[in-house]
Amino acid sequence: MPPSLNASAYRDLLKSFLVEDIGTGDITTKTTVSATQRACGEVIAKAPLVLAGIELFTEVFRLLDKAAEAEFICRDGEELAPGKIPARIRASARALLTGERVALNLLQRLSGGARLTRRFVRAVEGTGARILDTRKTTPGLRALEKYAVLVGGGKSHRKDLAEAVLIKENHIRLAGGVTAALAAAQSTKGCVAWIEIEVTNLHELRDALAHAPDVILLDNMSPSLVRQSVLQVRAHDPQKNMRTEASGGITLANVREFAEAGVDWISVGALTHSAPAVDLSFEIEPE
């Protein structure tokens, strides 16, 4: 089952999107369409997609017309073929025209992220590896972009910097090395979800293993080096208390190879920063 989304919790964010788009007023709609005209709008899939954000889509129109009524034919997480209609909205014609772009932009973007995530998830089926997102999100849209990843079957990594310790290359350099960074991070144990450190070679991995972090991030390694690293981690930690994560250079073409190398997690920044928006249209007819 896909996660649920409380669209009303994002009303302020949606309002800000509308303010940005409307400016001082939708002059075209005001001059061409009567204020009393009612209409029905249909969302239509123009390409294969995984639906994500349909509640947000309809909430945009409720902000412009409190009497707007939504008819949901599909729900988030469903796969739509071209021509499928996931929802209809009945509202003021002016509201439908004015909110169309904001509502469609969100639905296209989130459904694109869900579709790309679903493709990665299917590519690693049966391996035990989980597909994760990253913090490479659009400022202001993180919660929604991460929601799309969940809809697609992926797993959320850190939601923010406070959730977990993730010691990366720059932290290591400034702290004075892997050993110094992990020793300092022990003070957070029990206060954060996990302590993780990034390593780029077997030497750094050996240093990290000596301090038993919760997660070891194998960054920008080849699949064969990832496999060697996972074997070393398992030899050091046969109870599998430590998780391994692969990141960097992961694509649909090679993700299966990384998964078969034995990692627990595979993080893919593209799920949020490079997922192509899917093609949807919104056709409005008078009532």
> Would you please indicate which residues are annotated as catalytic (active-site) residues?
101, 136, 168, 198, 219
Three-state secondary-structure class, residue 208: helix
The total number of residues shown for the chain amounts to 287
In terms of Cα–Cα distance, which of 118, 162, 125, 114 is closest to 272? 114
Query: In what helix (H) or strand (E) does residue 104 lie, and over which residues does it extend?
Result: helix 93-123
The CA-atom distances, in angstroms, between 206 and each of 16, 82, 149, 182, 201 are 49, 51, 33, 13, 9
176/38 Cα distance (integer angstroms): 66
Q: Are 51 and 132 in contact (CB under 8 A)?
A: no
Sequence-separated (6 or more) residues with CB below 8 Å from residue 89: 40, 41, 43, 58, 61, 68, 69, 70, 71, 96
Largest separation between any pair of C-alpha atoms in the chain: 73
Q: What is the DSSP letter of 53?
A: -
